[in-house]
Amino acid sequence: MTAAAEASENAVALYDYLLPPSAIAQQPRVDRDGSRMLVMDGAGSMTHRIVRDLPSLLRNGDCLVVNSTRVRAARLRAAVAGRAVELLLVRELDGGTYGALVRPGRLLRLGRQISGAGWKAEVVGMWNEHPGGRVVAITTDSGVELDSIGEVPLPPYIRQQIADPNRYQTVFAEGPPVSAAAPTAGLHLTEDLLTRVAKRGVSICSINLEVGLATFSPIRTENIQDHQMHKERFTVPQVAAATIEDVRQKGGRVVAVGTTVVRCLESALDRSEAVRAGTGETSLYLRPGVRFRVVDGLLTNFHQPRSSLMVLVSAFYGGERVRAGYRLALASGYRFLSFGDCMFGWRG
């Protein structure tokens, strides 16, 4: 690749596109697996399907990997001097403290105390992971769980409340609520669909990646190489690592449900490039030119312009395929972002 071509590929403008507000889904579908799915096959053609068709695109011996993280009711609202303030608890730190995004920042400076029904918080430091970041110490009244007093942290582009907060959880979410956003590709899957996947002889594995800043922070630099990825915690259970490696050794395909699964699996490799069990942190930034060593197929939503997720899917499927796919999806009335439709395809 020439220097000019490389520079062009690294320009953030290449991962930009015009997203009309009308294309952003404001509510989840009634039927999770009824979402539209743009399928890109290995030959470069594209077909319109629905998520319920996913089992037919897999084969005996494949492995479907999901992110089982549970979303925390992470948004706390209060008032300071008669002004509304908001805390978004992104990451639990130590001793009841959290890394949080706050607004407006000028009202939530060091030492500021705020409170709401059943909880109190104090800004005890700056959280250097983000310009609007603060370290906040949270205490709750006796018998009150933090997850019962916050709100579901819907992204800011969703301007309507949802009747059922569980629609921002996957059906396979488990464990304590730790994520500040949902692994949205997994929102399309239902128990019935997973049963049909298993009946085709496809293994189903769960990993856990705590969704945070690395997933939803936009790229603010003009060159994607200059973007700083944040760390997110992940866990690969022993049974998942063993199953995935068995599938790989037998020639099966590893299919990730969402970009968080891709980043987790591509981070969890030993020196022999085998997926290893364990817990760690990843700031892996997958961009054009990298080699995907584990994941063969990817189910993913349509992502925001100028995001690291656009860069990741472009690296995975191929930039030209992604740009063509997004143009077709917009022209065909697909719904975009967290509650929207999705695309599925194999590594380019």
Could you read off the pLDDT of 286-326 as tens digits, one per residue?
Answer: 999 999 999 999 999 999 999 999 999 999 999 999 999 99
- 3-71+164-346 and 75-148: same fold? no
For the chain, the structural domain boundaries read 3-71+164-346, 75-148
CATH architecture classification, 3-71+164-346: 3-Layer(aba) Sandwich (3.40)
Q: What is the CA radius of gyration of the chain?
A: 20
The CB-side HSE value for 215 (13 A sphere, CA atoms) comes to 28
**pTM score over 0.95:** no
**Distance set, CA 188 to CA 50, 160, 185 (Å):** 10, 19, 6
* Domain spanning 75-148: CATH superfamily: QueA-like (2.40.10.240)
Tens digit of pLDDT per residue, the chain (348 long)?
454 445 577 999 999 999 999 999 999 999 999 999 999 986 678 999 999 999 999 999 999 999 999 999 989 999 988 899 999 999 999 878 999 999 998 899 999 999 988 899 999 999 988 888 999 999 988 888 888 888 889 999 999 889 898 999 999 999 999 999 999 999 999 999 999 999 999 999 999 999 999 898 999 999 999 999 999 999 999 999 999 999 999 999 999 999 999 999 999 999 999 999 999 999 999 999 999 999 999 999 999 999 999 999 999 999 999 999 999 999 999 999 999 999 999 997
Can you read off the two tokens belonging to residue 172? 């396979």
Backbone dihedral region for residue 193 (phi beyond 0: left; psi -120 to 50: alpha; all else: beta): alpha
Q: How many CB atoms lie within 10 A of CB 28?
A: 21
